[in-house]
Chains A and B, each alone.
Chain A
């Protein structure tokens, strides 16, 4: 399938600072793609270059196989939902949604029909004649979304559109966005710094850092098989234990750490024996035992903190070598832990060895 959006070796410099660094990215049609990263990672610049609000310093951007790198925004078949919605304050909801259709020169009955269809999709028909100032945050958000969808773009761009909403509304909108994406079948490119939002909605997540792509993949792969320390740390929480790589065998790495040899998944990486590596371990993958298990490798430690989180309890465990490990225990597992002196272990396939 031909990618709907393609970045080929795209760079964007502002003076001496590099916002986007040799970006190569292909996006398949009909997917919900999230650009995820901390602020300043280049995700918004990437989106704005696709929308036509920034021009790449070098490289090409293709939309449906056509080069669009230097076309103005009004000549591109993409539309954007802005972070603060940017609704036109002097136009009613209906006129806001109709704006793009009017500029396309459609007949007024056709515009009216399409506008009302779109508004009914988000249950806002009765609000058609209100002004934007008379709407709640969530309603404005939905009007902005429909205004951007009205001209029927190939690709819809969303620049952190949920960040101004409160937590509960944000969750509702996540569900709604995802379902609108499914019903319309359009490609959505969503920018956020919120990893939870990214995991919930995306078909594909592109993790960006310092203007480069760190890793791209479906949410499950990114969570369970991070390819860099940055990704392991940015998506969810991770423990990192640092040691020396002894060797690799059958997709597993053997690492010397704390006087023992521990194993961790290699994740297809090519790591050199003798190099320093970090083993990433999710807190929920850490097993905690009340007594030293006979057949398993386990390390003795001491619980220094217990934080009750409702459905689970977060433990902070300190090992004699000073290493601190975070663990998550459900109530059943926790009930077996009576003493602060514990042993921890993990399944080899749950840990991932990463270049340090």
Chain B
């Protein structure tokens, strides 16, 4: 097959890849660069450099409160979504379950429904049930969105689990609960860690659902949005850069962890 690809298309392919990478990273690089600029407006040249914006951000009570609130929501979302996701995955993988495909499709639906539609329908839903907007509603909305990712990751891992591991544990004296705790959960660990980190990241990142379901207390994306509306400042760049670094680090770690555990 090799001779179908002469060197010219190969070079073009590589070049277009690098163009794509630059396209992807340039805005982020500009944003990061501006966060070090010692001036009140965003423009080139940068001139003097400073860490002052970062110092300001980490002392900003609003920023710290919004970060804490976002992390709290993300953790609650992760706990609920993981429990529900594992439960649904186990249900789907169980032998002789009726309507397996339908359950799977329903469980995955929230992942493909547009965020806005999802947010509006959730808003109507909580209004009907008389649930107040705010923390509980946000967690509910984020959980619905996060469950499919847990289901898919856990299900993939479950399918690679040899059938007779559980049989072996039962044979050696474990009842079905102990077999689940001591064999199934450790086997699922890489998928669980990956899925949980995914839950945290989607929750922290979520703007639309939070916007429709939230109360007066802003999460981090809502705070940044509010600040941007009041005019761009390098402080926002510093905030965004911090968020970028943390989420990228967590995401890469998750990727690394799941990949290493696969071998």
Contact = CB atoms under 8 A, between A and B. Distances in A.
B167 A100 contact: no
Interface string A81-118: 01010111111000000011001100000000000000
Contacts of A89: 165, 187
A197 to B, nearest CB: 21
B222 to A, nearest CB: 41
Interface stretch (B74-82, B173-181, B236-244): B173-181
Nearest to A80: B171
7 contacts: A52-B170, A73-B170, A78-B171, A80-B171, A86-B164, A99-B169, A103-B174
Contacts of A91: 186
Contact of B171 (A74, A87, A90, A104): A74
Contact of B172 (A72, A84, A90, A147): A147
B170 A74 contact: yes
A79 B162 contact: no
B171 to A, nearest CB: 5
For the complex, would chain A's binding face be called helix, strand, loop or mixed by DSSP majority?
loop
A74 B175 contact: yes
Contact of A73 (B162, B165, B167): B167
A89 B189 CA distance: 12
A53 B163 CA distance: 12
B172 A79 contact: yes
Interface in A138-163: 147-148, 150-151
A89 B171 CA distance: 17
Contacts of B183: 88
A301 interface: no
Contacts of A42: none
A86 B172 CA distance: 12
A51 interface: yes
Interface in A44-71: 51-53
B176 to A, nearest CB: 8
Nearest to A104: B173
Nearest to A97: B172
Nearest to B261: A90
A82 B173 contact: no
B186 A51 contact: no
A103 B183 CA distance: 13
A103 B164 contact: no
Given A84-B162, A89-B187, A90-B189, A53 B167 contact: yes
Main secondary structure of the interface of B (DSSP, over half): helix
Given A89-B187, A90-B187, A103-B178, A72 B164 contact: no
Contacts of A104: 173
A88 B170 contact: no
Given A86-B162, A86-B165, A86-B167, 5 more contacts: A74-B174, A84-B164, A88-B186, A89-B187, A150-B172
Contacts of A53: 167, 170-171
Given A86-B162, A88-B165, A103-B178, A72 B170 contact: yes
Contacts of B22: none
B173 A151 contact: yes
Interface of B: 162, 164-165, 167-175, 178, 183, 186-187, 189
Contact of B173 (A86, A87, A103): A103
Contact-residue bracket for chain A: 20 to 34
A70 B9 CA distance: 68
B162 A100 contact: no
In the A-B complex, the 10 residue pairs with the closest CB atoms: A100-B172, A103-B173, A86-B168, A73-B170, A86-B164, A90-B186, A73-B171, A74-B173, A82-B164, A99-B172
Nearest to B185: A90
Contacts of A74: 170-175
A103 B167 CA distance: 15
A72 B169 CA distance: 12
Given A84-B162, A84-B164, A79 B171 contact: yes
A151 B186 CA distance: 23
A103 B189 contact: no
Q: Which of B170, B183, B186 has the most CB of A within 10 A?
A: B170
A80 B165 CA distance: 12
A152 to B, nearest CB: 11
A268 to B, nearest CB: 40
B164 to A, nearest CB: 4
A90 B171 CA distance: 18
Contacts of A100: 172-173
A103 B162 CA distance: 21
Nearest to A48: B167
Contacts of A147: 168, 172
Contacts of B186: 88, 90-91
Contact of A103 (B165, B172, B187): B172
Contacts of B171: 51-53, 73-74, 78-80, 148
A310 to B, nearest CB: 40
Q: Which of B164, B167, B168, B187 has the largest count of A CB atoms less than 10 A from its CB?
A: B168
Contacts of A84: 162, 164
Nearest to A98: B172
A163 to B, nearest CB: 14
A99 B168 CA distance: 10
B44 to A, nearest CB: 54
Contacts of B164: 82, 84, 86
A170 B173 CA distance: 29
A145 to B, nearest CB: 13
